[in-house]
């Protein structure tokens, strides 16, 4: 199984469970944990790095990581991130 190393990451220490990321993601990357009342990243491979979730998070609990090919396209050295 291949581990996806890009897409959104949730810092649960900062997350208040508002669900904005879950509601605004156009790619349906997020799922919802009914027991904990928190979002979960269910499909990171579907993330297109639109950053709606990251910009919409008032708690600054979302960090979207770009795939390697996108970093190279934008001239970002992956060794420095």
Mean pLDDT over all residues of the chain?
91
- What beta strand segments (E) does 1-81 contain? 7-10, 30-33, 38-41, 62-65
| 42/19 Cα distance (integer angstroms) | 14
Q: Which domains does the chain have, with CATH numbers?
A: 7-80 (3.30.70.20)
Question: What mean pLDDT is predicted for residues 26-55?
Answer: 95
3 or 35: which leads in pLDDT: 35
Quote the pLDDT of residue 5.
Answer: 78
Residue 29 pLDDT level (bands cut at 50, 70, 90): very high
Q: What radius of gyration, in Å, describes the C-alpha atoms of the chain? A: 13
User: Does residue 34 contact residue 44 with C-beta atoms inside 8 Å?
Assistant: no
């Amino acid at each position: 199984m291949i581990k996806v190393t890009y897409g959104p990451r949730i810092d649960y220490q900062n997350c208040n469970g508002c669900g904005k990321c879950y509601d605004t993601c156009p790619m349906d990357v997020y799922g919802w944990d009914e027991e904990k009342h928190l979002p979960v990243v269910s499909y990171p491979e579907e993330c297109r790095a639109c950053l709606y979730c990251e910009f919409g998070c008032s708690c600054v609990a979302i960090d979207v990581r770009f795939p390697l090919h996108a970093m190279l396209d934008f001239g970002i050295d992956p060794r420095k991130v």
